[in-house]
Amino acid sequence: MPEGYKVRDTSLASEGRASIEWAERHMPVLMELRRRFSGEKPLEGLRVAACLHVTKETAVLAEALRDWGAEVYLAPSNPLSTQDEVAAALATSGIHVYAWRGMSGSEYQWALETVASSRPHIVIDDGADLHVLLHGDLRDAASQVVGGTEETTTGVIRLRALEREGRLLYPVYAVNDALTKFMFDNRYGTGQSTVDGIMRAANILLAGKTVVVAGYGWVGRGIALRFRGMGARVIVTEVDPIRALEAVMDGFTVASMDEAARVGDVFVTATGNRNVVDERHLKAMKDGAILANAGHFNVEINVEALEGMSVSKRRVRRYLDEYVMPDGRRLYLAAEGRLVNLVAAEGHPSEVMDMSFSNQALAVLRLAREGKGMERKVHRIPREQDEMVARLKLETMGIKIDELTEEQKRYLQSWK
């Protein structure tokens, strides 16, 4: 069993603790659930392995699971997203965390292998790297897993592919697909934190800029909305005709990336797809264009092509690299093409992670109770869980809603 923890510097723990307490204040639903179940210890004797961005919000989830009796093992979901002070606070409060900002590819792999080798009963993931490891090289460590959860769209896509091939080893809850997750986290969380990340990386004026958003899914919609709110002219690119039409009727300009590449000042990818900004687009871009990615993996902008085309590269700001093209144009890549909102900023604000991680926590409780009897497939979060999270969130916001009367219920069920 892996022992202890590995973080950058445990002397950062008190800074991390203050930050976690700030998140707790803004995550009232998760804190209420944590309080409700702490007495009965529903996860006693269970090992939970998690691959999540190590942020103050993840800390609130990890400590809730610990309070419910679990032994928690935590690896990061990205080599650049760890908040070192938070990792330090977790390490000194009983969470087995193996994460530091700027870890190499092999250190990231080591962290995943370390948490997988805890022989977990429950696996929480954001992007499915841990699930995939437990279905491949570390398959033996999966024999006692009763179930897993998945936080993001790209991870759910990977798990559905495993299910289609009949290779899924345990049931998985698609937490991403809960209404109280994707409608809020993907849209408003990523919308706000992506603007935040680009501002911290580049600190440019957005008013009057042309911002190109690739993908008009839940993430792209939020990003387009928030950039418009900052006074930018937003162009959306899509491959899905219905979503493209939706973007048009939401008032955005829709164009192909070939057209948009020539006019954009800032490009943000949010598709979950690869090479959406490709070599030919990079060749067409204006001097000074800024490139950022909000999708899960760093494959959406063809960084390899950018590296290959450029005659020189230098870091001009903490999260901004300048690439000089043979014709003298300079292109700027934020956060090395990784999730800009988590690398250059702090990820989604706590209020929205409150709902995502309440869904994670409730899914873990369900798996602990029922996982053994569940089919090995990707499961939807039950509607009643979504409604419970939404009701609790409204309650904590002091918002009351109406209830159907008996007469209204009968009316809505009648064909007359």
CA-wise closest residue to 234 among 180, 186, 195: 195
Min separation Cβ 367 and ligand NAD, Å: 21
Q: Which helix (H) or strand (E) holds 382?
A: none
Output the six-digit token pair for 329.
């144009």
Q: Which member of 27, 30, 46, 57 binds ligand ADE (CB under 6 A)? A: 57
Which DSSP symbol is given to 371?
G
Which DSSP symbol is given to 74?
E
User: Does residue number 269 form part of the binding site for ligand ADE (CB under 6 A)?
Assistant: no
Question: Residue 26 or 121: which CB sits closer to ligand NAD?
Answer: 26
Q: Which helix (H) or strand (E) holds 52?
A: none
User: Does residue number 347 form part of the binding site for ligand ADE (CB under 6 A)?
Assistant: yes
Only segment of 54-62, 271-279, 304-312, 355-363 that touches ligand NAD (CB under 6 A): 271-279
Only segment of 33-41, 294-302, 319-327, 363-371 that touches ligand NAD (CB under 6 A): 294-302
Residues 139-158 binding ligand NAD (CB under 6 A) are: 152-154
User: Does residue number 302 form part of the binding site for ligand ADE (CB under 6 A)?
Assistant: no
Min separation Cβ 89 and ligand NAD, Å: 22
Q: Which member of 29, 260, 270, 277 binds ligand NAD (CB under 6 A)? A: 270
User: Does residue number 337 form part of the binding site for ligand NAD (CB under 6 A)?
Assistant: no
User: Does residue number 353 form part of the binding site for ligand ADE (CB under 6 A)?
Assistant: yes
Task: Taking the CA atoms of 355, 357, 361 and 367 in sequence, report the sign of the dihedral they define.
Answer: positive
CA-wise closest residue to 77 among 400, 397, 339, 374: 339
Min separation Cβ 258 and ligand ADE, Å: 31
Q: Which helix (H) or strand (E) holds 144?
A: none
Only segment of 238-246, 260-268, 345-353, 376-384 that touches ligand ADE (CB under 6 A): 345-353
Only segment of 257-265, 283-291, 296-304, 340-348 that touches ligand ADE (CB under 6 A): 340-348
Distance between first and last Cα of the chain = 64
SS3 253: strand
Backbone dihedral angles phi then psi of residue 238, each to the nearest 5 degrees: -150, 165
Other beta carbons less than 10 A from residue 389's beta carbon: 26
- Pairwise CA distance, residues 228 & 206, whole Å: 9
Q: Which member of 147, 295, 337, 371 binds ligand NAD (CB under 6 A)? A: 295
Contacts of residue 60, defined as CB under 8 A and 6 or more positions apart, other chains included, come to 20, 23, 24, 27, 30, 31, 34, 350, 353, 357
Question: Is the CB of residue 10 less than 8 Å from the CB of residue 91?
Answer: yes
Residues 175-194 binding ligand NAD (CB under 6 A) are: 182, 186, 190
Closest CB to ligand ADE: residue number: 347
Question: Residue 18 or 161: which CB sits closer to ligand NAD?
Answer: 161
Q: Number of residues in contact with ligand NAD, rule: CB under 6 A?
A: 29
Only segment of 5-13, 278-286, 321-329, 337-345 that touches ligand NAD (CB under 6 A): 337-345
Question: Residue 20 or 266: which CB sits closer to ligand ADE?
Answer: 20
Which of ligand ADE, ligand NAD, none interacts with 395 (beta carbon under 5 to 8 A by kind)? none
Min separation Cβ 386 and ligand NAD, Å: 16
Q: Which member of 55, 180, 271, 310 binds ligand ADE (CB under 6 A)? A: 55
User: Does residue number 217 form part of the binding site for ligand NAD (CB under 6 A)?
Assistant: yes
- Pairwise CA distance, residues 180 & 383, whole Å: 10
Q: Number of residues in contact with ligand ADE, rule: CB under 6 A?
A: 10
Give Cα separations from 3 to 63, 72, 73, 243 (angstroms). 18, 11, 10, 48
Point out which residues bind ligand ADE (CB under 6 A): 52-53, 55, 57-58, 189, 342, 347-348, 353
